[in-house]
Amino acid sequence: MTSRRCCWSRALLEGALLAVLLLARAVAAEVPTAEVSSAQMPDAEVPFAIHAPLGLPALPLPADNPPTAAKVELGRKLFFDRRLSFNGTMSCAMCHVPEQGFTSNELRTPVGNEGASARRNAPGLLNVAYHPRLFHDGREGALETQVWGPLLAPDEMANPSLGHVLDRLRALPDYAGLFEAAFAGRGASADTVGAALASFQRTLVAGDSRFDRYRYGGARDALSAEERAGLAIFTGKGRCATCHLIGERDALLSDFAYHNTGIGWLRSQEGAGVEVELAPGVRARVSAAVVRSIGAAPRSDLGRFEITRDPRERWAYKTPMLREVAATAPYMHDGSLPTLEAVVEYYDRGGAGAPGQSPLIAPLQLSVAERAAVVAFLKALSGRPGKPASAHQGEGR
């Protein structure tokens, strides 16, 4: 299996890449830029400027892996390459679908090698460069090393070893010379694969939403009255901004801390069955016994506790950033809430009352109109209509 794309998608891809370069040049004078000096760099390493759009701080870049055009392009190729999975069926982009906010809108949790069940919702990758730690439980600290997790996880891309991936890449003719060109003569290795994929993912930035233009661009009419009311609730009565931070000069919309929202505990409670929509308007109940007869027993998921072994962090998960949140349904670490309305309703009622649930989550007593306003505000965190926040959206494979 190869990742060769059909002609139209290749054209789209080339167009998208051109667009991101042009866009970067167009806004270079207006927004903070994390730029890399080309001094003493090999000719092959042409710096790649990643511009932080309105509302985002300068992009944090690792000193030992400055982005270059060659690395970004190689990382893009790796990201969309199905051959990187053991049986050639999955690329990174199969769970982090560009057209679906770099997550998957069609599944609560991803399906991996030979149908294996992943435990957690595929995190959206937009603005992933800002995350100080990665995965829902924060078990990785750098994109460069994080990428090997899914490549080797038996329930994801299922490669039997790191060396197996590298051997395969070294044997593929269309990769001949690409690593060497991007990394000053160094071939495919654990480091260079990680560096290339990380470089590409750092280009997935999303900002300049209507909220940003209202808050940081001086466009007072950028938000509607309802959206402004939603922002006020978000930062006030709703206490959302306690964890989804909004600063004076920019907004990451996350504290990158770990919180027990109650969702993890709630999912650990066995249900009495499930009501299934078989077709629009046709519903039936499936008993717990039937569910057990046709499915594997669910695996436990204790969140951050699995990394720290600190009982206080049972069922705690990292606060997600919220840009483009309207495009990244379903929500929460397990994808259990299908809509923004459901998320707001969950927090409004004070969560699940779970053991150890964060004290920050308590009944809010929001009215129907207030809940609707918060949802309207969340939808204003998306990029300009008709202009994807990330120029990589819309790429085909």
Minimum Å distance from CB 256 to other proteins? 27
Residue 396 contacts other proteins per CB under 8 A:
yes
Coil, strand, or helix at residue 370?
A: helix
Instruction: Identify the DSSP state of 205.
Output: -
Could you tell me the smallest distance in angstroms from the CB atom of residue 52 to other proteins? 28
Site string for other proteins, 114-133 (x = CB under 8 A): xx-x----------------
- 109 vs 199 by CB, closer to other proteins: 109
| 246 CB-contact burial (10 Å; exposed 0-12 / middle 13-18 / buried 19+) | middle
Residue among 194, 170, 184, 165 nearest 85 (CA):
165
Question: Which of 85, 146, 92 lies closest to 114 in space, CA to CA?
Answer: 85
d(CA 46, CA 21): 13
Structure tokens at 80: 């969309």
Q: Which two tokens stand for residue 40?
A: 């003493």
Among 43, 64, 106, 248, binds other proteins (CB under 8 A): 106
Task: Determine, following the binding rule CB under 8 A, whether residue 272 of this chain makes contact with other proteins.
Answer: no
Residue 160 interacts with other proteins (CB under 8 A): yes or no: no
DSSP letter, residue 282: E
Torsion of CA 208, 212, 213, 217, to 10 degrees: -110
Which is nearer to other proteins, 57 or 396 (by Cβ)? 396
Based on the shown chain and the rule CB under 8 A, indicate whether residue 268 belongs to the binding site for other proteins: no
Q: What are the tokens at 342?
A: 């459901």
In the shown chain, the binding pattern of residues 172 to 191 toward other proteins, with x for contact by CB under 8 A and - for none, equals: --------------------
Q: How many binding residues for other proteins (CB under 8 A)? A: 49
- Candidate ranges 51-59, 68-76, 253-261, 294-302; the one touching other proteins (CB under 8 A): 294-302
Does residue 2 belong to the site contacting other proteins (CB under 8 A)? yes
Select the residue interacting with other proteins from 58, 107, 302, 307 (CB under 8 A).
107
Cis, bond preceding 330 (omega within 30 deg of 0): yes
Contact 334, 121 (CB under 8 A): yes
Answer yes or no whether residue 168 interacts with other proteins by CB under 8 A.
Answer: no
- Of 274, 353, 384, 387, which lies in the binding site for other proteins, with binding defined by CB under 8 A? 274
- CB count within 10 Å of CB 118 equals 19
Nearer to other proteins, 66 or 330 (CB): 330
Question: Looking at beta carbons only, is 60 or 298 nearer to other proteins?
Answer: 298
CA distance 225 to 78: 44
Q: Are 339 and 329 in contact (CB under 8 A)?
A: yes
Instruction: Assess 300 for contact with other proteins (CB under 8 A).
Output: no
- Among 237, 292, 312, 384, indicate the residue that binds other proteins (CB under 8 A): 292
Report if residue 338 touches other proteins, rule: CB under 8 A.
yes
3-state secondary structure of 392: coil
Cβ within 8 Å of residue 341, ≥6 positions away: 371, 375
Q: Kindly list the residues in this chain that would bind other proteins in the complex (CB under 8 A).
A: 1-2, 4-9, 82, 87-89, 94, 97, 99-100, 104-109, 111, 114-115, 117, 274, 276-280, 282, 284, 286, 290-296, 298, 329-330, 335, 338, 396-397
